[in-house]
Amino acid sequence: MAVQTVATDTDLSLGPAVALSCRECGERFPLGPIFACEACFGPLEIAYDLPGGDPEELRKRIEAGPDSIWRYAPLLPVPADVADKPNLNPGFTRLVKADNLARELGVTGGLYVKDDSGNPTHSFKDRVVAIAVEAARAFGFTTLSCSSTGNLAGAVGAAAARAGLRSCVFIPHDLEQGKVVMAAVYGGDLVGIEGTYDDVNRFCSELIGDPIGEGWGFVNVNLRPYYAEGSKTLAYEICEQLGWRLPDQLVVPIASGSQLTKIDKGLRELIALGLVEDRPYKIFGAQAEGCSPVARAFKDGHDVVRPVKPDTIAKSLAIGNPADGPYVLDIARRTGGAVEDVDDGQIVDAIKLLARTEGVFAETAGGVTVGVTRKLIEAGVLDPSLTTVVLNTGDGLKTLDAVAPTTGPSAIIRPNLDSFREAGLA
Amino acid sequence: MAVQTVATDTDLSLGPAVALSCRECGERFPLGPIFACEACFGPLEIAYDLPGGDPEELRKRIEAGPDSIWRYAPLLPVPADVADKPNLNPGFTRLVKADNLARELGVTGGLYVKDDSGNPTHSFKDRVVAIAVEAARAFGFTTLSCSSTGNLAGAVGAAAARAGLRSCVFIPHDLEQGKVVMAAVYGGDLVGIEGTYDDVNRFCSELIGDPIGEGWGFVNVNLRPYYAEGSKTLAYEICEQLGWRLPDQLVVPIASGSQLTKIDKGLRELIALGLVEDRPYKIFGAQAEGCSPVARAFKDGHDVVRPVKPDTIAKSLAIGNPADGPYVLDIARRTGGAVEDVDDGQIVDAIKLLARTEGVFAETAGGVTVGVTRKLIEAGVLDPSLTTVVLNTGDGLKTLDAVAPTTGPSAIIRPNLDSFREAGLA
């Protein structure tokens, strides 16, 4: 495996991060732009030396911090002065107490929607990219890159613009115009690849191994261990916003599965640090039926995830071969959760249900989590008497096509009262 | 003038609001769903009994409040317990220190972008609608309504859904599908009117005077005095985020002109309460050349604003006969500011400039303010050595059409390194 290394010493100023550690064999490596274990090819993740001491003091330090993910800088692989650097300052998004939705679903123990559409480019990707930017700076990279089919391209373009880095983002050449505009407007280079998303990914791997790719940080490839840690902040924020309390149940979407595993990691860190009480929580994974390899494996009692060819309107979750699928299965089983899926019709219904009850217009991924929540309650799997948090990771404005065919005016009338009366809406 | 009144006593629980006061003749009226002076037909605005006492204590009380406009509840016409009611909790959006943009524009005194695209439905309209919702509740209204061509429809639909009110929103029947979806997805009634936006407005006025309209709160008509106050929170947030300091210069978009006048009102309140030091500030108004009646009047030295027929890509600012135009002229002249306009090409350039430098993708209205800022600096009117705040009131995702024709991939390539090299981007 040809991995290009710009810097691998541990003098890097990445806060409490001290090493990379193999998730499979535990082998440790110095911090650097590598993502796979040299011994067993397992995925690498960040190992920390987290702050000890009085939890109450740490809580106060966090609460006095900025209204962004940087309030948790002591728990992230970023320099201590990260908030002073030019970045998009994502996070600390609303935790909506969803009482109207709770009534519709029969939840009595408290239902919350963590609404990440409030991030700067309106998806949770701003969290992960913000951490990747700091890693890129630490490793001396000058170009920020990724392969993407949507949310990530915009998040990388925006973050690089603000950070003063060049960006060069790769997408399939036939994306919808709206997504292309969002990816290109930040002024970085946007390259359309004549091929599928798989072709784009293969090309990026080739580029990393080539001299052209020197000085390039691919957020979801050679910066992946850092990037992935950004999802921990969802766990931190949810608990802090609940008054430093663990929720009983969380419903999290599954694309690669990385987000779900990092939310679990974040919750375990909060417990270890004494920031929340140590008590059980259940994590439920949510997929679209048109791309549900992890749900399939969960239901079949398998440990391995069989790849599928995605066919769903939930395009931000359409990863047929999810890298972290096996870890997701572990977590769902260990915590007493489950992995479930809903079909495209149920996704659209759930988007509308959330909009109608709470005024939150979610991306299709949010329809997946709300739909799965409803399905799991009806099946008696999710306990409605417990505190439950459902994630919405993106914005409905980005997936208008999903609801457009069934969302329109109640009536078209002439501009007079008689015409309005005839429409039956008075 | 037939004004329907549900409740006009002053026992209403609307916090420090004590009466309605005519902006023209000063006549006072009890709080109620009225919007024009019975004596002189002048516009009514809220009169307050604002909290006195130690400014430091009030600052601390605000800082300890929620991360939304409700931290300023003591200064708004809302009940003291407003934050406990189901609403969208808009506001407290990012104040972006725009050092990259400052370098491009030659601003040395500190340049900031107040980015209201972070609001729940991604425009500043969430602020004004949130206040209107509380007035609607206080007056016992059960239907929330408005005429709209875009941002407002979505803001009203979302806010009503969350507040548990019925909504019925009126739009021209031929709006773009994206805007229709945004207005309809929250499940309220959406009525397309066969006619222009003027026809929609005339119909709404008719409806307010008819028994059908009983119990209806039109946020921008019979609730307008309350609604308009929401814009004060932009002034409060900017000053608090600057460390309880007035900016020297503000650049504010002009549609009806209401926002600019309320920002001025908010700044004056902060001074009167001792929350910020009393020193001069200048307010600059920004319009699109295709709809610039206020800029025209300012340049011609007139006190009256001659209506125009709008023709600009900045549709959220396209009000040809701005109700608060004369007040805007007063404020620009009193504070030593100005009113300027930019053409559609300059608007698009400015949207791209802001995206490229700060990773903020603005609606066309944000292109207008950034473009006017650039123009005023080049003309020597805006002083680059002073602290300047530029407003972005909406989200680029809502006006993709403005930039789409000139925003796309740098290259389309085959998925191999040779093809990438040929593209000249390596």
Q: What is the pLDDT of residue A7?
A: 42
Q: How many CB pairs under 8 A join A and B?
A: 240
pLDDT greater than 50 at residue A136:
yes
Tens-place pLDDT, residues B67-123:
999 999 999 999 999 999 999 999 999 999 999 999 999 999 999 999 999 999 999
- Contact (CB<8Å) A192/B412: yes
State how far residue A406 is from chain B, nearest Cα, in angstroms: 9
Q: Which residues of B50-81 are buried (b: 16+ CB within 10 A; e: fewer)?
A: eeeeeeeebbeebeebeebbbbbbbbbbbbee
Tens-place pLDDT, residues B241-278:
999 999 999 999 999 999 999 999 999 999 999 999 99
Q: Which residues of A165-193 are buried (b: 16+ CB within 10 A; e: fewer)?
A: bbbbbbbbbebeebbbbbbbbbbbbbbbb
Q: Which residues of B210-234 are buried (b: 16+ CB within 10 A; e: fewer)?
A: beebeebbbbbbbbbbbbbbbbbbb
Of A413, A416, A417, the CB nearest to B191: A413
Q: What are the residue ranges of helices labelled H in B99-209?
A: 99-105, 125-138, 151-163, 177-184, 197-209
Residues A398-401: contacts with CB within 8 Å, 24+ apart? A398/A122, A398/A123, A398/A150, A398/A151, A398/A178, A398/A179, A398/A182, A398/A363, A398/B397, A399/A313, A399/A315, A399/A316, A399/A363, A399/A364, A400/B177, A400/B178, A400/B181, A400/B182, A401/A176, A401/A313
pLDDT greater than 60 at residue A8:
no
Average pLDDT over residues B4-27: 77
pLDDT greater than 50 at residue B3:
no
Q: Is A157 an interface residue toward B (CB < 8 Å)?
A: yes
Average pLDDT over residues B33-38: 95
- Contact (CB<8Å) A185/B403: yes
**Pairing mode, if any, of strands B189-193 and A411-413?**
parallel
Q: Is A420 an interface residue toward B (CB < 8 Å)?
A: yes
Q: Which residue of B has its CA nearest to A207?
A: B417
**Pairing mode, if any, of strands B249-253 and B388-392?**
parallel
Q: Residue A211 carries which side chain, given as an amino acid letter? A: P
Average pLDDT over residues A403-411: 94
Strand locations in A140-298, DSSP E? Answer: 143-147, 166-172, 189-193, 216-218, 249-253, 282-288
Q: Which residues of A touch B199 (CB under 8 A)?
A: 415
For the B95-122+231-406 domain, the top CATH level (class) is: alpha beta
Mean pLDDT of chain A, nearest integer: 94
CA distance A58 to B33: 49
Q: Please give the full DSSP string across A282-345, using - where no structure is assigned.
A: EEEEEEETTB-HHHHHHHHT-SS-------SS-GGG--SS-TTHHHHHHHHHHHT--EEEE-HH
Using pLDDT thresholds of 50, 70 and 90, give the confidence band for residue B11: low
The larger pLDDT score, comparing residue B196 to residue A371, is at A371
Does residue A224 sit in helix, strand or coil?
helix
Q: Please give the full DSSP string across A59-118, using - where no structure is assigned.
A: HHHHHTS-SSGGGGGGGSSS-TTGGGSSS-------EEE-HHHHHHHT--S-EEEEEGGG
Q: Which residues of A touch B157 (CB under 8 A)?
A: 359
Q: What is the pLDDT of residue B7?
A: 42
Q: Which residues contact B270 (CB under 8 A, 6 or more apart)?
A: B235, B236, B239, B246, B276
Q: Is B290 an interface residue toward A (CB < 8 Å)?
A: no
Among candidates A253, A231, A357, A251, which has minimal Cα distance to A314?
A: A253
Q: Is A359 an interface residue toward B (CB < 8 Å)?
A: yes
Angle at Cα B265 formed by Cα B260 and Cα B270, nearest 5°? Answer: 125
CA distance B145 to B166: 9
**Pairing mode, if any, of strands A17-22 and A44-48?**
antiparallel
Say how many Å lie between the first and final Cα of chain B, rounded: 69
Q: Which residues of B touch A88 (CB under 8 A)?
A: 359
Q: Which residues of A touch B206 (CB under 8 A)?
A: 416-417
Chain centroid offset of residue A425 CA: 41
Q: Which residue of B has its CA nearest to A199?
A: B415
Average pLDDT over residues B227-243: 98
Q: CA quadruple B395, B94, B392, B303: dihedral positive or negative? A: positive
Of B199, B398, B412, the CB nearest to A173: B412
3-state helix, strand, coil in chain A (%, to 5): 40, 15, 40
Radius of gyration of chain A (CA): 22
CA distance B247 to B283: 10
3-state helix, strand, coil in chain B (%, to 5): 40, 15, 40
Residue A157 token pair: 């373009």
- Contact (CB<8Å) A194/B407: no
pLDDT greater than 60 at residue B10:
no
Q: CA quadruple A90, A95, A100, A103: dihedral positive or negative? A: positive
Whether the domain at A17-52+125-227 and the domain at A95-122+231-406 fall into the same CATH topology = yes
Average pLDDT over residues B373-378: 98
State how far residue B122 is from chain A, nearest Cα, in angstroms: 8
Q: Is A104 an interface residue toward B (CB < 8 Å)?
A: no
**Minimum mean pLDDT range among A16-20, B124-128, B231-235, B318-322:** B318-322
Of A212, A357, A425, the CB nearest to B417: A212
Q: Which residues contact A378 (CB under 8 A, 6 or more apart)?
A: none
CB atoms under 10 Å from CB of B19, counted, come to 17
Question: Is B327 in contact with B416 (CB distance < 8 Å)?
Answer: no
Average pLDDT over residues A107-136: 97
Q: Please give the full DSSP string across B114-125, using - where no structure is assigned.
A: EEGGGSTTSBTH
Q: Which of B69, B103, B207, B407 to mutate to test the interface with A (most CBs of A within 10 A)?
A: B407
Average pLDDT over residues A319-346: 97
Q: Which residues of A264-284 are buried (b: 16+ CB within 10 A; e: fewer)?
A: bbbbebbbebebbeeeebbbb
- Contact (CB<8Å) A185/B357: no
pLDDT greater than 50 at residue A301:
yes
Q: What is the pLDDT of residue B69?
A: 98
Tens-place pLDDT, residues A186-245:
999 999 999 888 889 899 999 999 999 999 999 999 999 999 999 999 999 999 999 999
Using pLDDT thresholds of 50, 70 and 90, give the confidence band for residue A54: very high
pLDDT greater than 90 at residue B13:
no
Q: Is B66 an interface residue toward A (CB < 8 Å)?
A: no
Tens-place pLDDT, residues B176-192:
888 899 999 999 999 99
Residue A177 token pair: 């115009």
Question: Is B231 in contact with B128 (CB distance < 8 Å)?
Answer: yes
- Contact (CB<8Å) A410/B203: no
- Contact (CB<8Å) B420/A212: yes
State how far residue A189 is from chain B, nearest Cα, in angstroms: 6
* CATH classification code of A17-52+125-227: 3.40.50.1100
**Domain-wise residue ranges, chain A:** 17-52+125-227, 95-122+231-406
Average pLDDT over residues A249-271: 98
Question: Is A241 in contact with A271 (CB distance < 8 Å)?
Answer: no
In this structure, what are the phi and psi dihedrals at residue A19, rounded to the nearest 5 degrees? -165, 170
State how far residue A9 is from chain B, nearest Cα, in angstroms: 28
Using pLDDT thresholds of 50, 70 and 90, give the confidence band for residue A149: confident
Q: Which residues of A touch B397 (CB under 8 A)?
A: 122, 178, 182, 395, 397-398
Q: What is the pLDDT of residue A11?
A: 58
- Contact (CB<8Å) B359/A122: no
State how far residue B397 is from chain A, nearest Cα, in angstroms: 7
Q: Residue A224 carries which side chain, given as an amino acid letter? A: R
CA distance A332 to A284: 6
Q: What is the pLDDT of residue B303?
A: 95
Residue B250's H or E segment, with its range, is strand B249-253
Q: For A332-354, what is the HEC assignment?
A: HHHHCCCEEEECHHHHHHHHHHH
pLDDT greater than 90 at residue B9:
no
Q: Which residues of B touch A210 (CB under 8 A)?
A: 417
Query: CA torsion, points A340, A346, A352, A354, in degrees to nearest 10?
Result: -20
CA distance A259 to A238: 14
Q: Which residues of B touch A195 (CB under 8 A)?
A: 414-415
Q: What is the pLDDT of residue A9?
A: 44
Q: Is A211 an interface residue toward B (CB < 8 Å)?
A: no
pLDDT greater than 70 at residue B368:
yes
Among candidates B288, B285, B298, B280, which has minimal Cα distance to B387?
A: B280
Interface of B with A in 297-356 (CB under 8 A): 351-352, 355-356
Average pLDDT over residues B225-236: 98
State how far residue B111 is from chain A, nearest Cα, in angstroms: 14
CA distance B337 to B357: 26
Q: Residue A165 carries which side chain, given as an amino acid letter? A: L
pLDDT greater than 70 at residue B167:
yes
Beta bridge partners of A6: none
Question: Is A29 in contact with A49 (CB distance < 8 Å)?
Answer: no
- Contact (CB<8Å) B425/A189: yes
DSSP state of A399: G
Q: Is B395 an interface residue toward A (CB < 8 Å)?
A: yes
Q: How many residues does chain A have?
A: 426
Whether ipTM tops 0.85, in short, is yes
Task: Give percent of chain A above pLDDT 90.
Answer: 92
